[in-house]
Amino acid sequence: RKEVEQDPGPFNVPEGATVAFNCTYSNSASQSFFWYRQDCRKEPKLLMSVYSSGNEDGRFTAQLNRASQYISLLIRDSKLSDSATYLCVVNGGNTPLVFGKGTRLSVIA
């Protein structure tokens, strides 16, 4: 089992829709969790950290479920500019940050 697993998608959604991505991780010792966004042929950029109590940043909500070892990202009122690949990132104890393969989102007009 890979350390971090994501559904690769693509998720094709209309503008204004709500979309959610899940990500599972295998290392129960993981302490830090992030969502990164990567546009085509660009570098990954931090979207948001994920905190134990869950956190929100505008239209984006991230949640962590330690018991089931997954994190989620919810995007409300999708915009065309949200089209990108969303990378789930986890650190595990002494290991550096491990990236999932990413979930591709296309928001359609």
Rounded CA-CA distance 109/95 in Å is 41
Nearer to another protein, 10 or 16 (CB): 10
Element of type H or E holding 39: none
Candidates 10-18, 52-60, 67-75, 89-97: pick the segment binding another protein (CB under 8 A). Answer: 89-97
Contact status: 28 vs another protein (CB under 8 A): no
Rounded CA-CA distance 14/3 in Å is 31
Q: Which of 71, 100, 105, 107 binds another protein (CB under 8 A)?
A: 100
Both tokens of 47, joined, read 């979207």
User: Nearest approach, Cβ of 91 to another protein (angstroms)?
Assistant: 4
Rounded CA-CA distance 58/80 in Å is 16
Cβ of 100: how many Cβ atoms within 10 Å?
Answer: 25
Contact status: 95 vs another protein (CB under 8 A): yes
Residues that bind another protein (CB under 8 A): 4, 31-32, 34, 42-46, 49, 87, 91, 94-102
